[in-house]
């Protein structure tokens, strides 16, 4: 037994030595500005508060997502762009979505340079962020424009989350958005009841540092209302000093979040996301039409296996409300990995093909998309 | 409950604590309850199947042991075969045969209504069924005396570390280990822990990280030839790491409890021919098939053509054991064909090998043979992994240069760096085992070096544990 305990003790000692050596190498690499993918790999394991602190303390960091896509700021920018627009320049495609929808529109613009569009949204935006952005942008609508609601299959599992910080552990952009629940009593227009986050803007987020009670309330709200909140991602940020702990945290947080996402997609009893999605689409179309806009829905199926089939979910409401849609699966098989970049986006060639197909969709539907 | 989940290790911690404080007889009872809890965590409805199989084979074993009449002995062993294979037939093969029968009728221009029942495949049924069958057959052959202790026998059938994916233990190995008091030692705990660590690295760092790349290509309707080649090489690594990783953890967990489970893999990709491969791959199944099927069919006693027939029949049934699908049948045919072909040409090959065994030339020849045979094995894995016969034809054609996509264009998602690091580690590990002939070569190392190796393994496991864990491939069999 003594010998075995000796081996165990020595192993733990070696583990500490190894951890210190790795920490030293990472520190050296960072101070010399050699931020390799290996250094980033270890950075990904920091706790969410640890990452946010690092971004706040070092605003110049290239990988910082702290300022990205906060809704109030996005809406201010949208209002500014709207004011600057030439109202007589012809219809504008007002797209609410994420990089995927922006890339499709860029492809369409290449096919027809006269097309003009305006992008709103955030990184890997889940449908609740996209829908909320559309609702908040209501003052910036002009009759005859085209409103695009971009839905991404891999983000559907995050529909019951309040912030990218809970479900995108490696890149936890802190932007926030409401979670929508079915309102079967039909007291709210569209049949969806929103639970808004206590933190809505970057200023709110920064203010938490001065107000421990508000920080506690916000943490409590995330734990209670955000289905993808995982303690392993948030607790004991002090342990971030150890690269080994960061690796363990990363493994734990990512696998727990992925398990939760899978559970949310497979089990709709607790959160009926297909019905929530259908109501979002229905209300989006009604609201857009009421303001004289033409509603179009983008159904973007990403590469990930196990994603819900967006077209199958949305089909009933698209047919019933006669909504024009553009489904990527009708133009490219998402199982064909040759159509994807390593970062998960479609390749430029596929995006260009989507762009041309989108213009074809507009033409077939008789939608005037340019002057 | 997966070996890669924290809740399994919490479960194992509780079992270990109870195990240490209980006397031997109670240890076995507790292990039986724990094994049923472990299995029930998958699907409690199937517990009845294990208990049924256990009761039937226990009673038949006792009757067989007491019976001298040959005819009655035959009836008893046939009953055991009928019950166990019947369970397999209903739960595993009913849908397959019903669908195939329907397709056959359709080919003859006849229409049949749907005859498929919605039957769920119970996890591990192929493993425990073969294990209990070996018990009654051994008693029938008078190679084994039946146990009178029902609880011991029940634990033999349901012992949780190897219940769902083997190794398929023989009663003559495991039953005495259950019946006699076991010695617990820190040394065994240490060796078991290293096995678990190695198994977790294989499964989590390598197999799970490789899986998305393989899946993407096999789900792709038009991959390039190079995509298929890489994905199939990777699948060879994935299935080895997945299955041998499970076995390592099973053996490690059992070792910590004082049990010795058989070795199931012996560096199979260092094999240079099919016979050697099957001595190294899934040893508990290949020896089971040899002892209870191949030999029962007559083995190599009836001349060359009978031997080939027996090899083909054994391997086809071995293929079908893996799953109720035609690609497994095809894989079995392929393996049977390889073994038969090897048998036909083995004499000359062996003579060449023997004459050059110690020369540099023989090493180079061996290296070449191992490399070439690995490609042959990989084609077998393509048959195994394919989702349909049409995909086998399509992928084979693309491998040979057909298809609409440039052969050398690659679209397979890249493999994570940690998996590559794990692969380098595993290759070194397997090479050292192969060269030293000692699975515990590391125990001869200088103590600080050993501790550094363990620390490195723990760090590697943490480094590579980022992909979501998936079920072990062999659970579906």
Q: Which of helix, strand or coil describes residue B138?
A: helix
* pLDDT greater than 70 at residue B119: no
Residue B473 pLDDT level (bands cut at 50, 70, 90):
low
Pair type for strands A192-195 and A179-182: antiparallel
Nearest to A10 among B447, B463, B468 (CB): B447
pLDDT at B277: 95
Lowest mean pLDDT among A341-345, B109-113, B256-260, B355-359: B355-359
Cα gap B367→B365, rounded to integer Å: 5
Q: Which of A18, A201, A137 minimizes the C-alpha distance to B460? A: A18
| Residue B321 confidence (pLDDT) above 80 | yes
Active site residue B322: yes
Distance from the B455 Cα atom to the nearest Cα atom in chain A, whole angstroms? 5
Record: contact B459-A18, CB cut-off 8 A: yes
SS3 at position A300? strand
From residue A217, how far is each of A163, A175, B89 by CA, in Å? Answer: 15, 17, 58
Distance from CA of B371 to the nearest CA of A (A): 29
Nearest CA in chain A to B456: A15
pLDDT exceeds 70 at position B116: no
**CB-CB contact of A173 with A122 (8 Å):** yes
> What is the pLDDT, as a whole number, of residue B358?
66
The whole-number pLDDT of residue B113 equals 61
CA-based nearest residue in chain A for residue B213: A337
User: Exposed, middle or buried, B333 (CB in 10 Å: 0-12/13-18/19+)?
Assistant: middle
Q: For residue B351, is pLDDT > 50?
A: no
CA-to-CA dists, residue A59 to A75, A208, B380, angstroms: 22, 17, 55
CA A137 – CA A121 distance, rounded (Å): 11
pLDDT at B100 over 80: no
- Please give the residue that has the higher pLDDT: either B356 or A26: A26
Residue to mutate among A2, A10, A14, with most B CBs inside 10 A, is A14
Mutate which: A9, A255, A256, vs B, most B CBs within 10 A: A255
Among the partner residues B187, B222, B468, nearest to A4 by beta-carbon distance: B187
CA distance A9 to B384: 45
The span from the CA of B280 to the CA of A204, in Å, is: 62
> Of A37, A70, A57, which Cα lies nearest the Cα of A170?
A37
Minimum CA–CA partner of A2 in chain B: B186
Q: Would you say residue B138 has pLDDT above 80?
A: yes
Predicted confidence at residue A340, as pLDDT, reads 86
The CB density around residue A87, as the number of other CB atoms within 10 Å, is 9
Assess whether pLDDT exceeds 60 at residue B218.
Answer: yes
Instruction: Tell me the pLDDT tens digit for each residue of A191-229.
Output: 899 999 999 999 999 999 899 999 999 999 999 999 999
Query: Is pLDDT of B477 > 60?
Result: no
What does the pLDDT read at residue B89?
Answer: 82
pLDDT of B31 > 60? The answer is yes
Alpha carbons B215 and A138: distance in angstroms, whole number: 43
Contact pairs from chain A to chain B, CB under 8 Å: 99
Query: What is the architecture of the domain spanning A71-227+271-365?
Result: 3-Layer(aba) Sandwich (3.40)
Beta bridge partners of A149: A96, A297
Inspect the interface and report whether the beta carbons of B187 and A254 lie closer than 8 Å.
Answer: no
Q: Which of A351-355, B80-84, B216-220, B352-356 has the lowest mean pLDDT?
A: B352-356
CA distance A225 to chain B (A): 24
Of all helices (H) and strands (E), which one includes residue A298?
strand A294-300
Checking if the pLDDT of B475 tops 70, the result is: no
Instruction: Please identify which of the residues B282, B322, B342, B349 carries the catalytic annotation.
Output: B322
pLDDT band at residue B352 under the 50/70/90 scheme: very low
B414 contacts in chain A (CB < 8 Å):
342
Q: Which residue has the higher pLDDT, A135 or B96?
A: A135
How close, in Å, is residue A250 to chain B by CA atoms? 6
Contacts of A339 in chain B (CB under 8 A): 411
Residues of B with CB under 8 A from a CB of A: 186-187, 189-190, 215-217, 219-224, 227, 405, 409, 411-414, 417, 447-448, 450-452, 454-456, 458-459, 462-463, 465-469
Given this model, what pLDDT does residue B476 score?
55
Tell me the per-residue pLDDT of A39-85, one tens digit each, with 9 for 90 and over.
888 888 999 999 999 999 988 888 889 999 899 999 999 888 888 88
Interface of A with B in 23-52 (CB under 8 A): 37-38, 41
Looking at residues B39-60, what average pLDDT do you find? Answer: 89
Give the whole-number percent of chain A exceeding pLDDT 90: 64
Burial label, B404 (beta-carbon count in 10 A; 0-12, 13-18, 19+): exposed
pLDDT at A285 over 70: yes
**Residue A184 in 3-state DSSP?**
coil
Q: Residue B409: closest CA among chain A residues belongs to which residue? A: A338
Write phi, then psi, for A232 (nearest 5 degrees).
Answer: -60, -25
Which of A37, A232, A251 to substitute to test the interface with B, most B CBs within 10 Å?
A251
Contact between B283 and B264 under an 8 Å Cβ cutoff? The reply is yes
| Mean pLDDT (whole number) for A332-350 | 87
- For the purposes of burial, counting CB atoms within 10 Å of the CB of B176, is it exposed (0-12), middle (13-18) or buried (19 or more)? exposed
Q: How far apart are CA B299 and CA B76, in angstroms?
A: 24
Question: Average of pLDDT values for B3-17?
Answer: 91
pLDDT digits (tens, 9 = 90+) for A227-283: 999 999 999 989 999 999 999 999 889 988 988 999 999 888 888 999 999 999 999
pLDDT at B396 over 90: yes
| Reported confidence tier of residue A326, pLDDT bands at 50, 70, 90 | very high
Distance from CA of A39 to the nearest CA of B (A): 12
Lowest mean pLDDT among A22-26, B99-103, B442-446: B99-103
Is the Cβ of A21 closer than 8 Å to some Cβ of chain B?
no
DSSP code per residue over B55-70: HHHHHHHHHHHH---H
- Reported as a pLDDT band with limits 50, 70 and 90, residue A145 is very high
Averaged over B392-408, what is the pLDDT? 85
């Amino acid at each position: 037994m003594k010998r075995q305990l000796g081996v165990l003790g020595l192993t733990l000692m070696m583990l500490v030595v190894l951890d210190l050596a790795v920490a030293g190498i990472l520190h050296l690499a960072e101070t010399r500005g050699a931020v390799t993918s290996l250094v980033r790999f270890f950075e990904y394991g920091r706790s969410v508060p640890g990452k946010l602190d690092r971004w706040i303390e070092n605003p110049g960091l290239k990988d910082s997502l702290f300022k990205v896509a906060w809704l109030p700021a996005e809406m201010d920018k949208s209002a500014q762009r709207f004011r600057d627009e030439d109202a007589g320049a012809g219809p504008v495609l007002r797209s609410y979505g994420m990089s995927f929808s922006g890339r499709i529109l860029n492809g369409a613009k290449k096919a027809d340079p006269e097309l003009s569009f305006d992008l709103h949204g955030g990184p890997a935006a889940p449908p609740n962020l996209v829908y909320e952005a559309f609702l908040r942008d209501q003052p910036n609508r002009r009759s005859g424009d085209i409103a695009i609601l971009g839905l991404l299959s891999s983000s559907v599992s995050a529909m019951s989350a309040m912030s990218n910080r809970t479900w995108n552990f490696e890149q936890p952009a802190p932007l926030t958005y409401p979670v929508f629940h079915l309102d079967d009593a039909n007291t709210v227009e569209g049949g969806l009841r929103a639970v808004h986050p206590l933190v809505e803007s970057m200023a709110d987020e920064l203010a938490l540092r001065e107000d421990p009670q508000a920080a506690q309330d916000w943490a409590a709200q995330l734990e209670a209302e955000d289905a993808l909140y995982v303690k392993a991602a948030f607790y004991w940020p002090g342990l971030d000093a150890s690269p080994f702990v960061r690796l363990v945290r990363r493994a734990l947080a990512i696998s727990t979040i992925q398990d939760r996402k899978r559970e949310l997609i497979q089990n709709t009893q607790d959160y009926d996301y297909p019905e929530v999605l259908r109501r979002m689409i229905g209300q989006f179309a009604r609201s857009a039409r009421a303001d004289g806009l033409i509603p179009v829905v983008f159904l973007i199926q990403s590469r990930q296996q196990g994603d819900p089939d967006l077209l199958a979910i949305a089909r009933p409401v698209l047919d019933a409300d006669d909504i024009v849609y553009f489904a990527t699966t009708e133009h490219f098989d998402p199982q064909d990995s040759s159509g994807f970049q390593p970062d998960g986006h479609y390749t430029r060639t596929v995006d260009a093909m989507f762009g041309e197909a989108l213009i074809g969709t507009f033409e077939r539907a008789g939608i005037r998309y340019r002057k | 409950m997966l070996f890669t989940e924290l809740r399994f290790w919490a479960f194992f911690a509780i079992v270990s604590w109870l195990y240490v404080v209980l006397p031997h007889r109670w240890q076995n009872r507790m292990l039986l309850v724990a094994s049923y809890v472990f299995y029930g965590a998958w699907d409690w409805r199937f517990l009845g199947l294990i208990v049924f199989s256990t009761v039937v084979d226990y009673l038949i074993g006792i009757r067989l042991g007491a019976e001298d009449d040959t005819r009655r002995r035959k009836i008893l062993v046939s009953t055991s075969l009928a019950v166990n294979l019947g369970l397999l037939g209903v739960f595993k093969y009913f849908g397959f045969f019903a669908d195939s029968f329907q397709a056959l009728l359709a080919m003859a221009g006849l229409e049949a209504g749907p005859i498929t029942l919605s039957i769920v495949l119970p996890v591990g049924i192929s493993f425990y069924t073969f294990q209990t069958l070996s018990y009654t057959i051994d008693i029938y052959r008078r190679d084994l005396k039946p146990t009178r202790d029902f609880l011991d026998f029940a634990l033999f059938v349901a012992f949780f570390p190897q219940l769902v994916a083997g190794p398929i233990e023989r009663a003559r190995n495991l039953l005495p280990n259950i019946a006699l008091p076991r010695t617990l030692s820190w040394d065994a705990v240490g060796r078991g822990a290293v096995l678990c660590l190695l198994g977790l690295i294989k499964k989590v760092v390598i197999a799970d990280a490789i899986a998305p790349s393989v899946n993407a290509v096999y789900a792709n309707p038009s991959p390039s030839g190079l995509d298929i080649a890489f994905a199939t090489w990777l699948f060879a690594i994935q299935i080895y790491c997945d299955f041998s990783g499970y076995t390592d953890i099973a053996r490690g967990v059992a070792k910590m409890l004082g049990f010795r489970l058989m070795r199931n893999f012996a560096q199979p990709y260092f094999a240079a021919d099919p016979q050697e491969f099957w001595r190294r791959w899934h040893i508990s199944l290949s020896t089971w098939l040899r002892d209870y099927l191949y030999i029962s069919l007559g083995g190599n006693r009836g001349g060359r053509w009978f031997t080939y027939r027996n090899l083909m029949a054994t391997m086809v049934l071995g293929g079908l054991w893996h799953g109720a699908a035609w690609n497994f049948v095809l894989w079995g045919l392929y393996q049977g064909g390889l073994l038969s072909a090897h048998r036909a040409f083995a004499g000359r090959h062996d003579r060449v090998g023997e004459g050059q065994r110690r020369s540099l030339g023989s090493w180079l020849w061996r290296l070449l043979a191992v490399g070439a045979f690995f490609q042959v094995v990989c084609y077998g894995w393509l048959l195994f992994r394919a989702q349909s016969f049409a995909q086998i034809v399509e992928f084979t054609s693309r491998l040979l240069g057909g298809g609409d996509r440039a052969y050398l264009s690659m679209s397979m998602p890249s493999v994570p760096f940690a998996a590559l690091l794990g692969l380098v580690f595993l290759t070194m590990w397997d090479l050292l085992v192969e060269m030293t002939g000692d699975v515990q070569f590391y125990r001869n190392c200088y103590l600080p070096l050993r501790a550094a190796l363990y620390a490195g393994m723990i760090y590697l496991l943490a480094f590579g544990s980022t992909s979501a864990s998936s079920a072990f491939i062999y659970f579906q069999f």
